[in-house]
Amino acid sequence: MSDARVIETHQLTKRFGQFAAVEALDLNVRAQQITGFLGRNGAGKSTTIKMLLGMTHPTSGTGTLLGRSIDDAKENREARRDIAYVGEDKQLYAYFTVEELIRFTRSFYADWRPEVAKRLLADYELPPKRKVRALSKGMRTKLALLLALSRKPELLILDEPSEGLDPVAIEELLQRLVGAASEGTTIFFSSHQIAEVERIADRVCILDHGTLVEDFSLDELRKDYRRVTLGFATNAPADEFRMPGIRRVRRADRQLSVLVRGNADAVAAQGRSMNAVSVDVVPISLREVFLESVRSESDLHP
């Protein structure tokens, strides 16, 4: 795997009036990896992707896509030659038939693979002569994926790619994404389906309120992330629990739950020194890290 970056942003910000959709985002996506982009609805994932592709202009900050500036129209256009994109809407030109849209799309890209397009058309059971407006939501999603996966781009950007697909189609999609990555394509995809991300991603970026709150590889998750649960005989101490590596502390009556990265033993030792009667250190799943990262106190205690 290469350590080169295909996406880099520095302090990238997008404001709509007073509302900051993306705030000072420093994002790095490594080449030839699958990077999952997680966040709640409205976290700023789609706005970030739109800024990367030149659809939305950043309010401030900079970024590069395949080494080319995202806010320079000409450079961004050059970068888009090597990028396949599936947007969150999956809406396509309703007046085209399936085969017309395929012909339209392939005319823009030198990396189009007709044999792959033909195979996907058959696999997805898309009727070539049918108008796009007559396709179901799931079929439209499949067509959007066909248009992206029939190419061999350097970078594949997918915004909620499995939305509208049935479980079988999702499984096939995940396998195709892994296959594309093994051929050298970098994949950057946003999703609400944490299980999907956990299955195929090498790396995960979590966005919350427009800010990057976590960026780690799944190897790092397995190796470094732990939940340390401290039980106390009386109410848990109210003092701030400040130590290197602590990501989040939750207090509930006689218990402290600490999400920690890379310093679990020291946190456990600190718990014992605070007279904790029980200390549990357990591995943590991506789902738990995600929920801990994006949940506010009001979500936990409505």
Partner 1 sequence: MMLWYKAWRESRVRFLVSAVALAIVCAGFVFFHRDVSGGISDEPLSYPMYIWRITYQGYLRELFMILAILLGLGGLARERDRRTAGFTLALPVSRWRLLATRTMVGFGQVVLLATIPAIVLPLLSPLIGQAYPSSQAWAFAILWATVGSLIFAMSLLASVLFAGEFTAPVAAILGLTAYSFLADVRPLERYLTDIHDVMSGFDMPYFEERTGVLTGPLPWATVFTLFFAAAALIVIGAWITNRQDF
List interacting residues with partner 1 (CB under 8 A): 50, 53-57, 73-74, 77-78, 80-81, 83, 85, 87-89, 91-96, 103-104, 107-109, 144
Number of neighbouring beta carbons within 10 Å of residue 257: 16
Nearer to partner 1, 46 or 293 (CB): 46
Cβ 170 to partner 1, closest distance in Å? 22
Rounded Cα distance between 66 and 4, Å, is 10
* E strand or H helix that includes residue 204: strand 203-208
Nearer to partner 1, 108 or 287 (CB): 108
Collapse the DSSP code of 174 into the 3-class scheme (helix H, G, I; strand E, B; otherwise coil) and give the result.
Answer: helix
Distance separating alpha carbons of residues 38 and 280, to the nearest angstrom: 28
- CA 231, CA 250: separation in Å to the nearest integer? 12
Q: Which is nearer to partner 1, 15 or 247 (CB)?
A: 15
Please state the closest distance from residue 119 (CB atom) to partner 1, in A: 22
Choose between 144 and 264: whose C-beta lies nearer to partner 1: 144
| Distance set, CA 246 to CA 81, 264, 295 (Å) | 42, 9, 16
Tell the smallest beta-carbon distance from residue 256 to partner 1 (Å): 45
In terms of CB distance, is 147 or 258 closer to partner 1? 147
Nearest-approach distance from CB 161 to partner 1, in angstroms: 13
Rg value, the chain, Cα? 22
**Pairing assessment for the beta strands 83-86 and 155-159 based on DSSP bridges:** parallel
Nearest distance from residue 93's CB to partner 1, in Å? 6
Q: Which is nearer to partner 1, 108 or 222 (CB)?
A: 108
Distance, C-alpha 45 to centroid of its chain: 8
Q: Nearest approach, Cβ of 135 to partner 1 (angstroms)?
A: 14
- Residue 127 CB partners (closer than 8 Å, separation 6+): 98
